[in-house]
């Protein structure tokens, strides 16, 4: 039996094609939501939107710190594993939920299957870098999205079996893009610009640093094009704390929005001119053949070098001079983009379930 564990919305999106593939094949699986994101009601709506079954198990976490939450998740997942006795526990990515699920699986004698294995930023300030390395080294099945990710795993001499599958985000976009175009119409009508850049900014190493956040606000102020900016709750909180929120609200060429649902966000992404973001997943999403956008990565490192090599992504950090000069250059030169994604052909979930079916 296979257990599929998710805890955050990006994990739900990337595991959705795998869950639906398991369901379509009639395979026995248990779907677990760890409750890492506090607003579980929002996650439930999200799960319904993507046409997924309701989780068999879900938890409410009471701890505030990462350590407390990981501890709680391990306790909850250990209880589930003792009841369901999974042969394989499938996890995705690099969050605290996935570390907890992988450790719990290991301790009850289940094999760990890591979807999106082998990503490396080599930036130890990122908690995700610690998490993904730990998970990779205790996984029996490693589903690397690209050949580069496979090489990273081979260089680290992981003990598990490595499979290059592509990234399930491409599968998800294949499945949901037409629905997203329909669902985002109202949001797009509320945007007062004919052409715009799309902005996201939320990573702890960025928004928790007052100077980095000030630099980000300067980038917004001086942008040569209008910007649409759905504000992450963490970033909004820090903008208030550091006395920057009013300044951001006054920028006339920036349309501030509440966080968007996945389908609405993808619809807005498709209509944008360019993307500025510190997100990891967006570096993959912009490469989909029906989206094809340039992205300025507002970080000093990336665990998705494939997007850089293919010409989609530019790692620019958060220095306003560097970001704005690169933005102006890309807008002016409009560098050509490939027709295909470096992250696969949309059949990753099929390849992953082929392996899980034999393992579970």
Q: Supply the pLDDT for residue 37.
A: 60
Is 145 found in the same domain as 250? no
* pLDDT at site 38: 56
> CA–CA separation, 260 vs 232, rounded Å?
9
Q: Is residue 340 situated within a structural domain?
A: no
Residues 69, 38: contact at Cβ < 8 Å? no
Tell me, yes or no, whether 104 and 191 share the same domain.
Answer: no
Which of 67, 49, 41, 47 shows the shortest CA–CA distance to 6?
A: 47
- Between CA 56 and CA 15 the distance in angstroms is 15
DSSP β-bridge partners for residue 227: 197, 254
Tell me how far apart the alpha carbons of residues 132 and 118 are, in angstroms, rounded to a whole number: 8
How does pLDDT run across 97-130, given as a tens digit for each residue?
A: 899 999 999 999 999 999 999 999 998 888 889 9
Residues facing 314 on adjacent strands: 296
Helix (H, G, I), strand (E, B) or coil at 200: strand
* Token representation of residue 292: 């094809």
- Give the per-residue pLDDT at 125: 82
Question: Is 176 part of any domain?
Answer: no
Q: Could you give the CA distance from residue 327 to residue 330 in angstroms, rounded to a whole number? A: 5
Residues of the domain holding 260: 182-333
Q: Which residues of the chain have pLDDT under 70?
A: 36-42, 360
The CATH number that applies at residue 314 is: 3.40.50.2000
Same domain, 131 and 11: yes
Q: Which two tokens stand for residue 178?
A: 């037409």
What is the token pair recorded at 274? 């360019």
At residue 306, the pLDDT reads 97
Domain-embedded: residue 152:
yes
State the distance between the two ends of the chain, measured CA to CA, in whole angstroms: 5
Q: Evaluate whether 50 touches 23 at the Cβ level (below 8 Å).
A: no
Residue 172 lies in a domain: no
| 243 CB-near residues (< 8 Å, 6+ apart) | none
Residue 42's pLDDT is: 63
Phi first, then psi: give them for residue 211, nearest 5 degrees: -70, -40
- H-run or E-run covering 106: helix 96-107
Q: Are residues 72 and 155 in the same domain?
A: yes
| Residue 202 appears among annotated catalytic residues | yes
Rounded to an integer, what distance in angstroms lies between the CA atom of residue 322 and that of residue 276? 13
For 273, other C-beta atoms within 10 Å of its C-beta total 18
d(CA 330, CA 291): 17
Catalytic residue, from 33, 37, 202, 294: name it: 202
Please indicate, yes or no, if residue 78 is contained in any of the structural domains. Answer: yes
Give the tens place of pLDDT for each residue, 7-52. Answer: 888 899 999 999 999 999 999 999 999 876 655 566 777 888 899 9
pTM over 0.95: no
| Residue 81: HSE in the Cβ half-sphere, 13 Å Cα cutoff | 25
Residues 13 and 107 in one domain: yes
Retrieve residue 198's tokens: 């799309």
Asked whether residue 177 is assigned to any structural domain, the reply reads no
**pLDDT at position 49:** 86
């Amino acid at each position: 039996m296979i257990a599929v564990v998710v805890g955050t919305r990006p994990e739900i999106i990337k595991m959705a094609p795998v869950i639906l593939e398991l369901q379509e094949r009639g395979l026995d699986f248990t779907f677990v939501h760890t409750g890492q994101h506090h607003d579980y009601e929002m996650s439930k709506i999200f799960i319904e939107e993507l046409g997924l079954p309701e989780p068999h198990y879900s938890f409410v976490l009471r701890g505030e710190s990462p350590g407390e939450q990981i501890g709680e998740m391990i306790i909850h997942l250990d209880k589930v594993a003792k009841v369901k006795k999974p042969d394989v526990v499938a996890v995705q990515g690099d969050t605290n939920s996935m570390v907890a699920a992988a450790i719990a699986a290991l301790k009850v004698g289940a094999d760990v299957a890591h979807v999106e294995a082998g990503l490396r930023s080599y930036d130890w300030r990122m908690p995700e870098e610690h998490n993904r390395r730990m998970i990779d080294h205790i996984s029996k099945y490693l589903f690397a999205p690209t050949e580069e990710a496979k090489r990273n795993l081979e260089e680290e001499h992981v003990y598990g079996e490595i499979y290059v599958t592509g990234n399930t985000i491409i599968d998800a976009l294949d499945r949901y893009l037409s629905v997203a175009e329909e669902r985002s119409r109202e949001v797009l009508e509320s945007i007062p610009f004919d052409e715009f850049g799309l902005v996201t900014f939320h990573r702890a190493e960025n928004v928790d640093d007052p100077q980095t956040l000030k630099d980000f606000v300067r980038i917004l102020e001086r942008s040569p094009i209008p910007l649409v900016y759905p504000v992450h709750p963490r970033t909004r909180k820090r903008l208030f704390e550091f006395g920057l929120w009013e300044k951001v609200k006054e920028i006339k060429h920036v349309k501030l929005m509440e966080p968007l649902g996945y389908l609405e966000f993808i619809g807005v992404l498709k209509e944008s001119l360019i993307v500025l973001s510190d997100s990891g997943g967006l570096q993959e999403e912009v490469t989909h053949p029906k989206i094809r956008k340039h992205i300025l990565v507002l970080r000093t490192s990336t665990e998705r070098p494939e997007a850089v090599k293919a010409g989609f992504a530019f790692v620019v950090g958060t220095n306003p001079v560097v970001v704005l000069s690169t933005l102006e250059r890309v807008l002016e030169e409009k560098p050509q983009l490939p027709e295909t994604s470096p992250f696969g052909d949309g059949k990753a979930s099929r390849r992953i379930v082929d392996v899980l079916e034999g393992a579970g």
